[in-house]
Structure 1
Amino acid sequence: MKITGVDVGGTHTDIIAFDTASGDIAVHKVPSTPHDHSVGLVDGVSAAVAGARLDFLAHGTTIATNALLQHDGASTGLITTAGFRDVLHIARHQRPLHYSIRQQIPWQDQALIRRRHRKVVHERIDARGEVITSLDEDEVRRAAAELADQGVESVVIAFLNSYRNPEHERRAAELVREVFPAAFVTTSSGVSPQFREYERFTAAAVNGFVGPTVQRYIGRLGSRLADAGLDAELRIMRSNGGAATPRFAAEYPVTLLMSGPAAGVLAGAHVGSACGRDNLVTFDVGGTSADIGIVTGRSIMESAPRDTWIAGLPIVVPMIDVHTVGAGGGSVAHVDRGGAFRVGPRSAGAVPGPACYGQGGTEPTVTDANLVLGRLRTDRTLAGSTALRPEPAIEALRALGEPLGMTPERTAAGVLTIVNHNMANAIRTRTIQKGKDPRAFTLVAFGGAGPLHAAEVAASLGLPEVLVPRYPGITSAMGLLAGDLKYDLLRTMFLLGDDVRGTELDAVLTELTAEARTHLVTDGVAAEDMSFERYADCRYLGQGYELRVPFDDGALDEEAVHRCWKRFHELHAEEYGHAFPDSPIELINVRVIARGRLPKLPAFSVAADPDASTAVVATDPALFTVDGELRPLPTTFYERSKLGAGAVLEGPAVVLQMDSTTVVPPGAHAEVLGTGDILIHVGGER
């Protein structure tokens, strides 16, 4: 069986192909094709599989994310309950910056749905799900006809309290499809059946805004794969770390917004597990940004509703907690108007790119700094194709540093110091600021630039070790082959602890499980490959946000409910540092997470060969800061493909490979594990 993971980024499309029968692995990088990402994807996959039959393809995409961030989505209309036309504009009556009178408010300045495209109809369902005012179907038909005449492409239907009873939304969707069959139709209860109408309306609006773009892309991709003879089972990564069928992804594209970063966290968890580590910080550094994720022995951290914002908008759909900071290989170093030396968040991008690319770029970047300090080599190419030129990099850094009285080399060292601190601060927000001790974690570094910076970032935080996967530059593509089909289904309940009855919860959870099972059966998942997890979203009475608490397997009796409450107190203490055992608990939602097992990459292995000398490429000076002083130190450069398990590398050392470069700084040492991954001991202790 031939399985392939493809992660499409802004600069490169990363591909890993694995033959489960022979164990052969192929990795490949091709330039992305922004005009149509399916072109580069199919070209790259065709080259990777080299004419062999392809059985399974998992895909991570930025299509939905780019459409939202660039505000390049469909013209969208809204049909909502009379009196609630401006929910998307009013929001929570909060401003991003409390005291600024000159600020952009994303949901107002770049509204996803213009006011003239928001239509109201008479209907009302109360907070218990009872119909108070029947849906006026004629008004729905008129609203749909008006939106069609106004040239909208997508229609969102969002009614008050539809999370309790979706009957009116479903009927309105049927009527819109009758009157306006060309429209992409979204219902808020279909996207996010949760209370809090602004967040639910917004999630639905995002789905409608990016939907036609994603739908067309998935259609083109399917056709192009078929034309290339790549008739594979296609699955698309979602923000929650689960894959979806093309049908589901095209219907609910809002769930794809963190597709690529989610795959990176899955890959980090996969690598860590294979190496016997379960407390992990995943550190994915590309050309533009660094993505940070957290994995614990219990689970991969998911975003809480209060933390899930993209493009300034709340996105209340399940997603892995990935924190992004504008720090990558292309981040531009500059002096701001106040005279401060800064790096990023602006990036030189792929074109013109860093000055050392020789494509006309003149601004100094992190990649230029690494080249000038000798950590990148001019006799090697980046990503297998990009030649590096030192002269433009030196000139760019000289232009930045001379007004500050600094040489190009000192300027380069300053660039790395600042960008490393920016990355370390991003990790602090996910660990120290959330009550987690970073010293208990292993940093899993990947992406084209992650292994270049990981050891120094880890040292500044006290993380004892860094894991560098076997193929760090295509690790997110590996992560696409580490997930399963996944569906999150929930029902809002609003029950106080004393009112909770196990039999009532059992009935609801059984219904949700049956619905989830239907999804998996439709996707062709065999019964033995299905699994189901059950949770309650709980909070103390009066709190604004919830914690997810697992239920016991089997029937829910009174004892099982009490065990759920006990777990909630424990989780609250773990998350916030305190608990209130005598306070009443409110159960907000019950939730079922269904998984369907998909083909996966196995743990890799390499032959034992403790002799690292056969992998030495050169020993040349590189610049490192030691005891506050920038010094040239003899540095050994290794070819990674020639390193066997058991090889030990003393810092300073640099490991070279096609898709990334790994730096082992002075005072640290690294060893090659049996899986082929490199473990860097940051402190140097043995």
Structure 2
Amino acid sequence: MATKETGGMIVLGVDVGGTFTDLILADLEKQELTIHKTSSTPANPAIGVVNGLTAICEKAGIRASDINSLFHGTTVGTNAMLEHDGAVTGMITNEGFRDILHIGRHQRPQHYSIMQDLPWQNRPLIRRRYRHTVAGRLDAAGQELIPLDEDALRKAARTLAAEGVEAVLVGFLFSYVNPMHERRAAEILRNEMPDVFVTTSADVAPQFREFERFTTGAMSAFIGPKVRRYITQLQDELSLQGLKGELHVMTSSGGVATPKMIAEKPASTLLSGLVAGVRGGAWVGSHIGANRLITLDIGGTSADIGIVLDGRLTEADARSASIAGFPVMLPMIDIHTIGAGGGSIAYVDRGGAFRVGPESAGADPGPAAYGQGGDRPTVTDANLVLGRLAPQNFLGGDMTLDTGAARRVITQLAGELGRTPEETAEGALTVLNSNMANAIRSRTVQKGIDPREFTLSGFGGAGPLHAAEVAGMLGVRRVLIPPHPGITSALGLLTADLEYHALRTAFSVKGNVDHPRLTGLFQDMETELNDIFEQDGVPHAKRRMLREGDLRYVGQGYELKIDFPDGPLDHSALEQVWQDFHDRHRAEYGHAFEASPIEIVTVKVRGLGEVDKLGTPPLATAAGSAEPVGQGRCVFRVNDTLETFQTPYFDRASLPTGQSLTGPAILLQTDSTTVVPPGWNYVVDKFANVLMTREEAQDADQS
């Protein structure tokens, strides 16, 4: 293979999805990007990564050994949870507490439903037969009441080993205060069961609330062997290809971690790929001053929604953070996923209601338009019938869509509804867009946030098709479409730093705070994280420590996260913390109790280690003209009436920068298609983003 001289620092982002593996290669010195998509290999995702690596190196004219760092977003752990396809897992816990994982809490996810699904009971991560108890007990202060019964522990280990258990969680009461019993138990288990993955609840989530802590630990054990095998196999495969650069894996908190850290805490990879998409959208938005952003990542089966508030990715709170219905106590970006995508099936339900999704045609057979045997109407078929997809120009011309098949399945559905095919297709899009708009309202309006003050960023394969109409439903005035919408998640991987977390339980009430102890807790955590960064070879100058704490009014059930200042936490330093909590409580709930005592429950440190990554987006290079490459009849709803427009199709890459253009228009590129509806203007900015604004921005109904 012929190679070219490289610019010195080359990084590669690889995001593995269910259908495609997306790659983006960046020469940081030359500010050059190369992108590539290849088919994923679900049976062994590492093969798809290696295939993509080989292809993108060929395309860029470099060797794998020229790559300095590879940043990876993986769905291995997430899929194991969603598909309930993890390890056979066992548990060691205190006598009398065998069934905490089954009982859960008194709260019911759906208060009035007698048919609700309780996953921790219907499909437990650790079956009861594999949950063993041993004597040993600490009190709430972490003092030993009953010694750990090590003989019983060894007997339980031998029983679990004989039953073929692949992973074990050790979860004891009050281990978040003192993990001595858990650590000793884990040591014994590793000696007795050297080939079994062993973790402890204090290592995964050292916080109070035993059900959530044990469940989070169970997740880590359940997915641990699969994640560890995958990362080890991926490293071996990449090494065989000559890659010498460091591997970093995206975590649920929005940072990246080393393979060593992932092997110890595999649950940190949950939502890995989805978080990368929100990061990518936020990074693109930050360079055009859009620091209040709604990200809408639409693929074939789902739409993932994230909120960027004043430049920060919003995090999930303890009340709502969950994976596959299981509560999780990990630092996690707040991402809301609904069943809405290009493959979502439109149908009439048994009650006569017109619905779209969450059932999807998937990649096989896919929409009828794919010509692979699909015989049910999907959103992709509806877009094709309405003229919003160019049948000869799908995936940059690599695939031709079957217009006749799409119209046939839409016409069949139209017969059930008593409507025309165009009315039915547009109705399907309206239902889908409404579902996504309602999901966004649940993350904004219902939390006191006005979406009209935000920019909506649409990406993923189908995001640019729907972004403008979803924005219109919300009253959002500006839409941002990144240069390469289909690989925005891979792009987001190249914008993250190393990120690790430490936390301690504090339980300190205003007016009775032990200031030296509180300061000492933060200093201990900073030392702990500095030791990890030292092992990773991160220089001191490239480390940052951010202090946080979970606070609540005394007697409340849940906490709010508040920033803490650096340095000694004396009385004056905490005064600002107390006031910030009142302000945050008022913003979150609409009121504050200024006279009520405040309790610091947990204190945390977020450690950031700076790595070489993308600085600013490359500047647009196209100096073309707005000459269409074709035109077609497209149907849009205007003032509650369907109208047909003779609509130009443009090659997005050839559009000039800075020139204001008007819709309707269809913008074509390899990884997505952008729809500019009537009544919207659009312009390509200096970074090659498409910015859409409504001609007459009217406030949408926020109810």
Q: CA–CA distance in 2 between the matches of 1:491 and 1:301?
A: 22
Residue number in structure 2 paired with 1:261: 274
Residue number in structure 1 paired with 2:564: 551
Residue number in structure 1 paired with 2:420: 407
Residue from 57, 62, 66 that aligns with 2:79: 66
Match of 1:324, SS?
strand
Residue from 208, 229, 245 that aligns with 2:242: 229
Cα displacement string for residues 457-515 of structure 1 (whole angstroms, at most 9, x for unaligned residues) = 10110111001101110000000011111111110111111111332211110000000
Q: Is the 8 A contact 1:609 1:647 kept in 2?
A: no
Residues 609 and 482 of structure 1, relative CA distance in 2, 3 Å threshold: closer
Residue number in structure 1 paired with 2:643: 631
Residue from 126, 132, 146 that aligns with 2:139: 126
Cα displacement string for residues 274-301 of structure 1 (whole angstroms, at most 9, x for unaligned residues) = 1111011111111111111111115210
Residues 684 and 603 of structure 1, relative CA distance in 2, 3 Å threshold: farther
TM-score by length of 1: 0.98
The size of the alignment, in residue pairs, is 685
Cα displacement string for residues 153-197 of structure 1 (whole angstroms, at most 9, x for unaligned residues) = 101100001000001100100000111111100100000000000
Paired residues for 1:314-353 under 5 Å: 314-353=327-366
Structure 1 residue 92, shift from structure 2 partner? 0.4
Residue from 183, 191, 195 that aligns with 1:170: 183
Pair 1:653 & 2:661 matched = no
Structure 1 residue 537, shift from structure 2 partner? 0.8
Q: CA–CA distance in 1 between the matches of 2:462 and 2:221?
A: 35
Pair 1:249 & 2:262 matched = yes
Pair 1:514 & 2:527 matched = yes
Q: Is the 8 A contact 1:74 1:154 kept in 2?
A: yes
Query: What amino acid is the match of 2:38?
Result: V
TM-score by length of 2: 0.96
Residue number in structure 1 paired with 2:57: 49
Structure 1 residue 524, shift from structure 2 partner? 1.7
Q: CA–CA distance in 1 between the matches of 2:364 and 2:491?
A: 27
Structure 1 residue 645, shift from structure 2 partner? 1.9
Pair 1:38 & 2:51 matched = no
Q: Is the 8 A contact 1:610 1:646 kept in 2?
A: no
Q: CA–CA distance in 2 between the matches of 1:682 and 1:62?
A: 36
Residue number in structure 1 paired with 2:433: 420
Pair 1:3 & 2:15 matched = no
Q: Is the 8 A contact 2:80 2:86 kept in 1?
A: yes
Unaligned runs of 5+ in 2: 1-8, 699-703
Q: CA–CA distance in 2 between the matches of 1:95 and 1:146?
A: 34
Residue number in structure 2 paired with 1:526: 539
Q: Is the 8 A contact 1:669 1:684 kept in 2?
A: no
Structure 1 residue 610, shift from structure 2 partner? 7.6
Structure 1 residue 272, shift from structure 2 partner? 0.8
Query: What amino acid is the match of 2:483?
Result: R
Residues 107 and 164 of structure 1, relative CA distance in 2, 3 Å threshold: same
Q: CA–CA distance in 1 between the matches of 2:435 and 2:630?
A: 32
Q: Is the 8 A contact 2:28 2:613 kept in 1?
A: no
Match of 2:626, SS?
helix
Q: CA–CA distance in 1 between the matches of 2:614 and 2:655?
A: 22
Residue from 569, 572, 575 that aligns with 2:585: 572
Pair 1:502 & 2:510 matched = no
Q: CA–CA distance in 2 between the matches of 1:595 and 1:117?
A: 38
Structure 1 residue 391, shift from structure 2 partner? 1.0
Match of 1:266, SS?
helix
Q: CA–CA distance in 2 between the matches of 1:335 and 1:382?
A: 31
Structure 1 residue 449, shift from structure 2 partner? 0.5
Q: Is the 8 A contact 2:460 2:485 kept in 1?
A: yes
Residue number in structure 2 paired with 1:299: 312
Q: Is the 8 A contact 1:606 1:644 kept in 2?
A: no
Match of 1:307, SS?
coil
Identity rate of aligned residues, in percent?
A: 51
Pair 1:149 & 2:152 matched = no
Q: CA–CA distance in 1 between the matches of 2:688 and 2:194?
A: 54
Q: Is the 8 A contact 2:624 2:654 kept in 1?
A: no
Residue number in structure 2 paired with 1:274: 287
Query: What amino acid is the match of 2:426?
Result: A
Unaligned runs of 5+ in 1: none
Residues 384 and 8 of structure 1, relative CA distance in 2, 3 Å threshold: farther
Residue number in structure 2 paired with 1:12: 20
Pair 1:432 & 2:440 matched = no
Q: CA–CA distance in 2 between the matches of 1:589 and 1:383?
A: 51
Q: CA–CA distance in 2 between the matches of 1:239 and 1:86?
A: 28
Q: Is the 8 A contact 2:548 2:562 kept in 1?
A: yes
Match of 1:498, SS?
coil
Query: What amino acid is the match of 2:216?
Result: A
Residues 156 and 608 of structure 1, relative CA distance in 2, 3 Å threshold: closer
Pair 1:678 & 2:690 matched = yes
Pair 1:663 & 2:675 matched = yes
RMSD of aligned Cα (Å): 1.4
Query: What amino acid is the match of 1:22?
Result: K
Residue from 455, 458, 462 that aligns with 2:471: 458
Match of 1:543, SS?
coil
Q: Is the 8 A contact 1:608 1:644 kept in 2?
A: no
Q: CA–CA distance in 1 between the matches of 2:33 and 2:311?
A: 31
Q: Is the 8 A contact 1:12 1:32 kept in 2?
A: yes
Query: What amino acid is the match of 1:26?
Result: T
